[in-house]
Each structure stands twice: as structure tokens, then as C-alpha cells.
């Protein structure tokens, strides 16, 4: 069980993370280094050392970001891919075995509400298709917490135009091109790559999005570039679409040995392309978290998992989705499910 930590930018200290029952790992990144740049070995080793000094292990890197040049298939992609390969070799040298990334054009996870009020007085992240940006070009700068980049209005509009010319098939081609180059390097470096599903799993702002369901994941692992080409199974991302049977997807890809990392959270589906992020308990949302944990157990998965986003509770002010309290409750709940499943065999 691991916990995401944003390094020097995080107001939650490692010493607190160490006190969450059952948490042994930390998921982090070199947040100061932008997409397309090389991660030096010394910086990775320093991050790992800082985490170790608190009795924890850097169990996965989230994320080694993929540049827009690579995603859009631009003129600079070969240079950026070469840098990506250098970072992967450096991560392998530093003993990192799991690296998460995503292939969502321009915007990573996307919500229409960062403080959606729940009846118990907590707030949470939510997405409502009716509110989802009819004018995709924002008034000022555009950014969500958790994204790497803040875009100016003109820059954002320009990037949207660039992607408007790109079909889903183009994006698949660019992903295949990227993976053909990086997966053999990852494999040689002892690193497993874990792609994060698109969150939410449908197109937003008119941008193509391809990593949405079982069929897409099947196509991904079928690219034939090696077993290091795997999945970060995010229950909340896939689960926002009730057509995705999350435990079944876990059993299928888990048995193939292609799940390298797991994000555990629940969502309450409130309508077509609408949901809010509930507390982790099965009873709070639309996903059966017991069935999820049982599927993980059944496949013998032994890689890193982490409680994903929590609600804002007990007056905590912090990075939306990434406060301490509700994620820690999630970790304890998930550990309880796991103990029961293990003891029941």
C-alpha cells in the first residue's frame, strides 16, 4: 500500500504518511522537471533517499510526463522520446521499477467542480457533462491542481486548434510510435510502464481521448512491444463509465500480467457522463470495492496500489483530491478489505 506525495510542494509531511496504518510505499515524481526533459540519476536517488529516511520506499514514479510533441506527433517528438528513454534508464539505475504516465492530450484529469458539496458537509471533485465547458477557451489562464502546466488563454486556444486536426486513430499511431521506442528501453532497464486511463473516460473539450475501456486496453497490450507495456488500473477513472466492469477488467488484464500499478477509489455515477468522487467505501459509490480487491487478490498482483483521491473532510484545506484525512481513511478501509480477503483465502 502506497500513498501519493508531491515532494517539496506537498503540505503533508512524510512523517505523517508513515503513520497511516499499512502504508509502506510512496508514489512521487520530480515535479520540478517538465515534460520532455531528462530526469538525472542524482535527483531520483535524492528523492528515494528522502523517502527512505522516513522508513518508506519510493514504490512507483507518477508521472514521468509525456510531452505534447510526442502526443501530437510533432517535429520535436524524436528528441523528446530520446530524453524519455534517458529518463527511463536513469530510473532503472536508481532502482525504480514502476513508472506511470498518461497519453491524454493537453489536459490530464478533468472535472467541472473541485468543491462539490456532499450531504455530510464534505466536498469532493465532480464532473457534470451539462457544465463541461461550452466555451472551451477559458477567460484567463487554465489549470487544474495536479496538472503540470498552466496555460495562457491564447496558448491554450492554439493547442486546442493543433489537436482539432488529430483523430483518435492519429493519437493511437502516436502512442504506438512512442511505445515502440520506449518499451524495449524500459524492459532493459527493469522498469514497467503503466498507462493511466483517460479520466474521465470520454473526450473532453473536443480533445481526442483513447484510453477509455477494456477494448482500448486490449488494443494497448496487443501492440506487441513487450510486457513492460502495461496498465495503471485506475478504478475511479474506468468506473465513471458504468459500461466498464472494473473487477472483470482487473481479472482479465491481471491474469495477463499487464497491470503494473493500481489506483483505488470510488465514484458515484449520477447520470450520463456525470459523477462525483465518493468516499472509498462500496456503500458510498457505484463501484463494489470488495469485488475490486478480491479481483486483485485473485490475480496474485503484488505491485504498488494507492488510495486515490479523497474528499475534503474535517475542515482540511489542501490540494483537491489529495488531502491527508480521507485518503488515509481509504487506505485503512482497503487494508481491512484485504485482510478479510486474505484470511478467507
263 catalytic? Reply is yes
Which residue of this chain has its Cβ atom nearest to ligand DNO in the complex?
63
- Catalytic residue, chosen from 151, 163, 322, 333, is 322
Q: Which is nearer to ligand DNO, 143 or 255 (CB)?
A: 143
- Catalytic residue, chosen from 101, 151, 309, 333, is 309
CA 25 to chain centre: 16
- Interatomic CA distance for residues 56 and 143, integer angstroms: 31
308 catalytic? Reply is yes
CB of 326 to ligand DNO, least distance (A): 14
234 catalytic? Reply is yes
Taking CB under 6 A as the criterion, the residue among 2, 59, 83, 102 binding ligand DNO is 102
Q: Which is nearer to ligand DNO, 56 or 104 (CB)?
A: 104
Question: Which of positions 278-337 make contact with ligand DNO (CB under 6 A)?
Answer: 309, 321
Q: Are 159 and 205 in contact (CB under 8 A)?
A: no
Q: Which is nearer to ligand DNO, 63 or 229 (CB)?
A: 63
Would you say how long the chain is, in residues? 345
Q: Any contact of residue 109 with ligand DNO (CB under 6 A)?
A: yes
Q: Choose among 307, 278, 309: nearest CA to 116.
A: 278
Taking CB under 6 A as the criterion, the residue among 48, 62, 142, 172 binding ligand DNO is 62
CB of 342 to ligand DNO, least distance (A): 26
- Catalytic residue, chosen from 101, 308, 326, 333, is 308
Q: Any contact of residue 28 with ligand DNO (CB under 6 A)?
A: no
Q: Any contact of residue 67 with ligand DNO (CB under 6 A)?
A: no
Q: Extract the runs of DSSP E, i.e. beta strands, from the chain.
A: 2-4, 25-28, 57-62, 98-102, 113-117, 123-128, 192-196, 229-234, 259-264, 267-271, 274-277, 305-307
Q: Extract the runs of DSSP E, i.e. beta strands, from 133-273.
A: 192-196, 229-234, 259-264, 267-271
Name the phi and psi angles at 115, rounded to 5.
-135, 55
Looking from the CA of 47 toward its CB, the CA atoms found within 13 Å total 28
Q: Any contact of residue 198 with ligand DNO (CB under 6 A)?
A: no
Q: Which is nearer to ligand DNO, 298 or 326 (CB)?
A: 326
- Catalytic residue, chosen from 234, 241, 280, 333, is 234
- Asked whether the CA dihedral 326, 246, 5, 106 is positive or negative, the reply is negative
Taking CB under 6 A as the criterion, the residue among 85, 100, 182, 289 binding ligand DNO is 100
Cell numbers at residue 35, please? 515534460
Q: Any contact of residue 146 with ligand DNO (CB under 6 A)?
A: yes
Strand partners, 336: none
- Catalytic residue, chosen from 196, 252, 260, 280, is 196
- Interatomic CA distance for residues 134 and 144, integer angstroms: 17
- Cis, bond preceding 35 (omega within 30 deg of 0): no
**What residues act catalytically?**
196, 234, 263, 308-309, 322
Instruction: Give the residues lining the site for ligand DNO (CB under 6 A).
Output: 62-63, 100-102, 108-109, 146, 196, 263, 309, 321
Amino acid at each position: 500500500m502506497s500513498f501519493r506525495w508531491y515532494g517539496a510542494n506537498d503540505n503533508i509531511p512524510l512523517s505523517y504518511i508513515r503513520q497511516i496504518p499499512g502504508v509502506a510505499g510512496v508514489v512521487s515524481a520530480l515535479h520540478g522537471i517538465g515534460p520532455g526533459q531528462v530526469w538525472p540519476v542524482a535527483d531520483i536517488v535524492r528523492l528515494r533517499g528522502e523517502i527512505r529516511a522516513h522508513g518508506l520506499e519510493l514504490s512507483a514514479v507518477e508521472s514521468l510526463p509525456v510531452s505534447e510533441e510526442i502526443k501530437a506527433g510533432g517535429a520535436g517528438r524524436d528528441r523528446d522520446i530520446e530524453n524519455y528513454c534517458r529518463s527511463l534508464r536513469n530510473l532503472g539505475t536508481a532502482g525504480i521499477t514502476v513508472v506511470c504516465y498518461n497519453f491524454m492530450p493537453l489536459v490530464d484529469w478533468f472535472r467541472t467542480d473541485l468543491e462539490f458539496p456532499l450531504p455530510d458537509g464534505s466536498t469532493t471533485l465532480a464532473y457534470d457533462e451539462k457544465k463541461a465547458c461550452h466555451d472551451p477557451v477559458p477567460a484567463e489562464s487554465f489549470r487544474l491542481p495536479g496538472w503540470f502546466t498552466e496555460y495562457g488563454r491564447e496558448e491554450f486556444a492554439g493547442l486546442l486548434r493543433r489537436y482539432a486536426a488529430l483523430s483518435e486513430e492519429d493519437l493511437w499511431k502516436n502512442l504506438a510510435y512512442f511505445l515502440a521506442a520506449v518499451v524495449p528501453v524500459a524492459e532493459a532497464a527493469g522498469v514497467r510502464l503503466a498507462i493511466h486511463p483517460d479520466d474521465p473516460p470520454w473526450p473532453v473539450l473536443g480533445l481526442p481521448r483513447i484510453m477509455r475501456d477494456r477494448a482500448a486496453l486490449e488494443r494497448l497490450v496487443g501492440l506487441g512491444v513487450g510486457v513492460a507495456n502495461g496498465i495503471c488500473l485506475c478504478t475511479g477513472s474506468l468506473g465513471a463509465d458504468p459500461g466498464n466492469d472494473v473487477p472483470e477488467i482487473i481479472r482479465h488484464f491481471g491474469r495477463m500480467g499487464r497491470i503494473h500499478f493500481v489506483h483505488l477509489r470510488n465514484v458515484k455515477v449520477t447520470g450520463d457522463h456525470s459523477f462525483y468522487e465518493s468516499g472509498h467505501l462500496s456503500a458510498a459509490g457505484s463501484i463494489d470495492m470488495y469485488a475490486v480487491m478480491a479481483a486483485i487478490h485473485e490475480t496474485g498482483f503484488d505491485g504498488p496500489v494507492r488510495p486515490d483521491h479523497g474528499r475534503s473532510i474535517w475542515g482540511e484545506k489542501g490540494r483537491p483530491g489529495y488531502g491527508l484525512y480521507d485518503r488515509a481513511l481509504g487506505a485503512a478501509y482497503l487494508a481491512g478489505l484485504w485482510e478479510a480477503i486474505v484470511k478467507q483465502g
